[in-house]
Amino acid sequence: MESKTSAAIKRWYPVYTNPRAEKKTVEVLTDKGILTYLPLHRQLKQWSDRKKWVEEPFIKSYVFVNIAEHERTSVLMTKGVSRFLYFSGKPASMPDRQISELKLLMASSLELEITEEDLQAGEKIIIKAGPLKGLTGEVVSRRSQKQLIVRLESIGCSIIVHVAASFIERF
């Protein structure tokens, strides 16, 4: 059995898009046969004459693509794609586990909040019950609440989820 060369291994990469072009960019990338993930959340928008629930990108101007190295040019040549994110001079890639955890968060009914501020590291925890069971992160204490922080370092932001303290344990 032959092992895959490193160029043929598919990885998840965060891609920066033009402003408000996330959905259209995903559509074009999908038409090219590229596996994408765009986390969306429902939000109540108000106009002067009505209110409506809409699905908005959870992380503005970001789309995640699952590609091999040789497909990067094809992604960059896609209308709506601005650039790849780089970390230490190389395109930042994300482990499959982080994408799975992000999908799990987005599928939950928990109230989510995103922040780009660099949150201070706290105790490492794992969720032992509820819809996010098995998810790992860091704890930030505010008043009597505990909050789980899932740090997505390769895209430079953190996601804050409100979780009951009884659902977490140290590891």
**Token pair for residue 57?**
């990108």
The predicted structure's pLDDT at residue 162: 75
Full set of structural domains in the chain with CATH:
11-93 (3.30.70.940), 107-170 (2.30.30.30)
The predicted structure's pLDDT at residue 144: 47
Strands (E), the chain: 11-17, 35-37, 40-46, 51-57, 62-67, 81-84, 86-87, 90-91, 112-115, 124-127, 136-142, 145-152, 157-163, 168-170
The three-class DSSP label of residue 59 is coil
Output the average pLDDT for the chain.
84
HSE-CB of 165 using CA atoms within 13 angstroms = 8
- pLDDT-based confidence at residue 75 (cuts at 50, 70, 90): very high
* 8 Å CB contact between 25 and 63: yes
User: Considering the entire predicted model, what is its pTM?
Assistant: 0.78
